[in-house]
């Protein structure tokens, strides 16, 4: 995650650096360092920020991933997103069967997820290619 995207998401959530730090379980200095680019944003912080953002966006079209991707029954039954009926949180759940394979790391998973229509429906307002709001 790039520093500008981190800042943009914090602002769209309507949070100060202090408020976001409390939600993420990190120090205010850490949030400031992420936004300045002095520190890399750890995967667990990135993941939590995306989760908070997705929950705030309740009005967004949240069709289940298996419907959007038209997954066949045999693929669905082996996917944790389907097992836990969390088709709008597929990007958050490890071990999902996206692109017909389970990803081993957050970096691999999120790289695939960012190209997916399910992701784009939820996070289009913070697309890293769009200008800062």
pLDDT along the chain (133 residues), means of 10: 94 96 97 97 94 74 84 89 90 82 79 87 70 40
**Does the residue 107 lie in any domain?**
yes
Residues 74 and 95 in one domain: yes
The reply to whether 113 and 70 lie within a common domain is yes
CA–CA separation, 73 vs 96, rounded Å? 14
52 and 69 housed in the same domain: no
Q: What is the 3-state secondary structure (H, E, C) of 58-71?
A: CCCCCCCHHHHCCC
Distance between CA atoms of residues 107 and 91, nearest Å: 11
b/e for 83-98, b at 16 or more Cβ within 10 A? Answer: eeeebbbbbbbeebbb
- Which of 11, 28, 56 terminates a domain? The answer is 56
Total of domains in the chain: 2
Q: Write out the residue range of the structural domain in which residue 98 sits.
A: 65-126
Are 27 and 77 in a shared domain? no
pLDDT at 131: 40
Instruction: Examine the domain organization and report whether 72 and 90 are in the same domain.
Output: yes
What pTM does this model have? Answer: 0.81
In a domain, 70, yes or no: yes
Check residue 133 and give its pLDDT.
39
Identify whether residues 122 and 77 lie together within a single domain. Answer: yes
């Amino acid at each position: 995650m790039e520093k500008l995207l981190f800042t943009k998401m914090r602002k769209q959530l309507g949070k100060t650096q202090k408020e976001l730090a409390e939600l993420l379980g990190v120090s205010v200095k850490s949030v400031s360092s992420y936004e300045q680019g002095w520190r890399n944003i750890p995967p667990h912080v990135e993941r939590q920020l995306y989760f908070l953002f997705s929950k705030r966006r309740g009005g967004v079209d949240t069709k289940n991933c298996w419907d959007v991707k038209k997954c066949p029954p045999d693929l669905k039954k082996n996917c944790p997103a389907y097992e836990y009926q969390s088709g709008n949180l597929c990007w958050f759940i490890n071990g999902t069967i996206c692109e017909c394979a389970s990803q081993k790391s957050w970096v691999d998973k999120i790289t695939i997820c960012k190209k997916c229509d399910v992701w784009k429906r939820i996070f289009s307002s913070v697309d890293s290619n769009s200008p800062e709001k």
